[in-house]
Amino acid sequence: DIQMTQSPSSVSASVGDRVTITCRASQGINSYLAWYQQKPGKAPNLLIYAASYLRNGVPSRFSGSRSGTDFTLTISGLQSEDFATYFCQQTNTSPYTFGQGTKLEIK
Amino acid sequence: QVQLQESGPGLVKPSETLSLTCGVSGVSISGGHWWIWVRQPPGKGLEWIGQIYHSGMSNYNPSLESRVTMSVDKSKSQFSLTLTSVTAADTAVYFCARGYSSRGTYFSCGGDWGQGILVTVSS
């Protein structure tokens, strides 16, 4: 299985801050990488697909990028509604594995 | 508006079979999308269980493959998950999802999700 190593596991930030979350794939996954936001008791919500494409309706403060097997989710100008847990998922090679998650908390 | 809704028992006894259904509305289940199952043990991360296409073509997580079966019922616009010989380790919130699509390209990441159903394995 492809391992997705996500970091950090948690991060504290303030409204207006810029936050970066990283996922590293254990082998090449091309750009088949998605980012999700999940709030307590809710289903994941797709933010980014194909590494850098913003899903329709997702605010432009969210962005994704790829450098080789390293993938980054950046949130620029944190809003209160962004405090949640974020997961990456590779869909290049079955089984389609998730990162362990990053909990974004209010400082 | 696409809606997915999981249904099934919330409590299953050890060694028995877990059976869940995902009802789909607002979109044809016979379109080009993948239909996906994901689970999340309480307080933990997400685990991909598998996906199925309307034709019945499917692929499963090898860690569960010997116990998992997925199916599609086009007449009822629903797809299903069965997991046999369950143990406490199968206790989780089970989500169904529709694979995302954009500009005619279909992806295996989940674009629309059900609310999830907690299944507890306990005697």
Instruction: Give the DSSP per-residue string, B75-86.
Output: GGTEEEEEE-S-
Residue pLDDT, tens place only, B13-36 = 999 999 999 999 999 999 899 999
- Residue B47's pLDDT is 98
Selected residue of A93, A94, A103 to mutate for chain B interface (largest B Cβ count, 10 A):
A94
- A91 to B45: CB separation less than 8 angstroms, yes or no: no
Percent of chain B with pLDDT over 90: 97
- Residue A48's pLDDT is 98
By C-alpha distance, which of B44, B121, B39 is closest to B81? B39
- Within 8 A of B62 by CB-CB distance, chain A residues are 1, 95
- B46 to A44: CB separation less than 8 angstroms, yes or no: yes
By C-alpha distance, which of B107, B116, B117, B112 is closest to B1? B112
- B111 to A95: CB separation less than 8 angstroms, yes or no: no
Residue range A78-99: mean pLDDT, rounded: 97
Residue pLDDT, tens place only, A9-31 = 999 999 999 999 999 999 999 99
By C-alpha distance, which of A77, A104, A96, A83 is closest to A34? A96
How far is Cα of residue A70 from the mean position of the Cα atoms in its chain? 12
Residue range A53-80: mean pLDDT, rounded: 97
Number of Cβ atoms within 10 Å of the Cβ of A79:
11
- A101 to B95: CB separation less than 8 angstroms, yes or no: no
3-class SS of residue A36: strand
- Within 8 A of B109 by CB-CB distance, chain A residues are 34, 36, 46, 49, 89, 91, 96
Cα gap A91→B9, rounded to integer Å: 30
Residue range A71-77: mean pLDDT, rounded: 97
Q: What is the phi/psi pair of residue B88, to 5°?
A: -60, -30
- Residue A97's pLDDT is 98
Chain A to chain B Cβ contacts (< 8 Å): 65
- Within 8 A of B51 by CB-CB distance, chain A residues are 96
Number of Cβ atoms within 10 Å of the Cβ of B30:
12
Contact A23, A33 (CB under 8 A): yes
Number of Cβ atoms within 10 Å of the Cβ of A9:
11
By C-alpha distance, which of A92, A88, A95, A91 is closest to A8? A88
Instruction: Report, in angstroms and rounded to the nearest whole number, the Rg of chain B calculated over CA atoms.
Output: 14
Tokens coding A97: 């594995």
- Helix, strand, coil abundance in chain A, percent, nearest 5: 5, 50, 45
Residue range B57-83: mean pLDDT, rounded: 97
To 5 degrees, how large is the angle CA B43–CA B45–CA B46?
A: 130
